[in-house]
Structure 1
Amino acid sequence: MSGPFSNITETIFADKSVLTESYQPETILERDEEIEAYSHALQDVLFGREPENVFLYGKAGLGKTAVTEYMMDELREEAATREQADDLHIHQINCNGRTLFMVVRQLVNRLLPEGASDFPKRGLGTGDAFDELYTQLDRIGGTHLFVIDEIDHLDDANTLLYELPRARANDHISESLVGIVGISNDYTFRQSLSPKVKDTLMETEISFSPYDAGELQTILRHRAETAFVDGVCDQSAIAKAAALAAQDMGNARQAIDFLRVGSEVAEREGDRHVIDDHIERARTLVQRGRLQNKIRDQTQHGQYILEAIATLAKENELPARSKEIQTVYETVADAHGASPLTTLKSVQDHLSDLHMLGFLIRHEQNQGRSGGQYYEYELDLDPDIIVQTRQKIVEQTS
């Protein structure tokens, strides 16, 4: 008796993993200038000197993390051959969804000797965690690079970026050297830092700009050589995926997703060649999936507000003012057993953030002396995507 998989005997993929987000390429393409700036910023490590702080800026999918992984591997390998270089220790952490205490505690736990008890979750404060971090740094010695991804998501980045770079100057450490590599999706992140932190950092800034269509084609062709069985993927399909991504976000991750999903469409339909039409159809699927992920990334109350606006959209009640949205939002929050935000200003702040993220269209209204100035909001995406995503989230958490 044949099973549901018995007829699946062929695939157009030779190595599909190179089209996944987790794949780390051995060769970094189209980022030569950024790599050169990076290498100059970190060269002091090779001579046993205190490393410069480095900050990388750019939207998601522009190669910041991939370049950093590559540079850390290369630096680690090169430092091991240099007599002047100290032992190099690289600590990578992502700040998304973490408080400052959680970040410092996690770093401490990674540095503790084998068999030691973890730093406690409760009972001690952030200052205690920093003290233990300094103790462990000096116990180990050498050069320590802290690679801090999504640092713009950290609730108290000022404290972290003041403490670590000044640890030696403030006599917290004497047997180790410390440097920071900060990675941010927010080009304006530095503007939010306090003046004393800006003066302390003295960092090298490296900005990652969007890829153009030609650069994305180069990246996709290189991936396609390994990903597909020979002759499967048309060059025009690669050009199509590159062009669509360049027109949208200039994002390599998006271009690779277009190529992967388009190939999956072709394989699902029994086609042995990936062509332009498959890529075009993949665009809708990829964009829908990315929207769902963006919705999931919002705070709990941000999601409730989106759900409220989707409700108003399905009832043809948009555009709407913030007060009208607040009323529906409170009903949504109550339905989910949550206490709603108590002030209109809090709701307006969320609406402003959702507008900046591209979820909402905002219209400024001016009614003169009689009505004053105010904003009205409407959705800039299909409300069904919000409703379906929220339903899945609720099902997964219930």
Structure 2
Amino acid sequence: MKIFKRALSMELMTSASAIFLIILGIVVAQRAGNIVRQVSKGILPNDAIGTILTFSLIKLMPMILSLAIFLSVLLTLTRWHRDSEMVIWFSAGLSLKQWLWPILRLVTPVILIITLLSLYVMPWATDKAEAYREQLKKRDELASISPGTFKESSNGERIYFVESFDKLGYEVKNIFAQTRQDNKTGIITANRGSRYQAENGDHFLVLHHGQRYETQPNVLEISTTEFERYEIRIETKESAPEPITTQAKSTYDLLTDPSQADHAEFQWRLAIPISATILVLMAIPLSFVNPRAGRSLNIMSALLIFIVYNNILSIFQAWLSQGKINPWIGLWPVHGCFVLLTVYLYYRRQHLQPLVPQLFNRFFRKP
């Protein structure tokens, strides 16, 4: 039995690490693509990609770890079934239930990490991400410009285009700016420029060796001016601080004078490690391989169960935040249903027959 446990430990750790890296790579690619798309549209500055991506990964880390340990247990035991190693286990007089403690001992540290991330680290990352986005909103017009894209000012009176910045963002090259003022449209171009801060705190963009073209509606004449130095005042953004969201509150704040939304958020944070534990236990009977079925059937079933479980939890969380469910009930009915499903799977694998038909025959068969 010690040989089985040692082999299980090594293979489970190896598969969990590989699956975690694969899922992490998929999530990074998906989130990075979404953030880059926002940068290309001018919604976010290009220097914010790394920070926002890091906070997003920290927020998703509990779910990534939950899915990783669930699939690792499932795939490891599935291979043991397929290679007839489980037959040796059962031939030694050991049952399927005796896999519980070895697997639980292996995944308990991961469950504790998921609990820590869900209760403390995830709200901290959400709070920092929201604070960082607020900071981006208050940045001036030039700081929010991405090289190679057109950017409109907040008041709609200016449009900027900059080909490139230096590393510190103070020197710009090949600038295009369009301004609207006093019913006049001005177009300014310059080969290079720089920014500086005046004594009163105002920021200016200084253009060197450029041209300015000015037009008026219904007037065919175009005024052209060449300049050695031209200053444009950069507008700063003022925005009122937004209230902290429920997702960004600490767990301690959720428990002190909680609202319906606070109850829902706290139970969602608890649901992540609880669901991870239930899914790991469910993976043991779910790993049984039917030789007539395809090899990918177990993986498809596991992904479907994971998606359905989390979606139902999200629905109950929304109902709880809306006051449609009592906080004492909360998300526990969802956990209870999947616990019953796990018990049913254990019974079915232990007796090699479905539970429902057996009960039907017992209570409804003719005398």
TM-based fold match above 0.5: no
Task: Identify, as 1 or 2, the structure richer in strand.
Answer: 2
TM-score class normalised by the smaller sequence: under 0.3
Task: Identify, as 1 or 2, the structure richer in helix.
Answer: 2
TM-score of the superposed pair, with normalisation by structure 2: 0.26
Higher Rg: 2
TM-score of the superposed pair, with normalisation by structure 1: 0.24
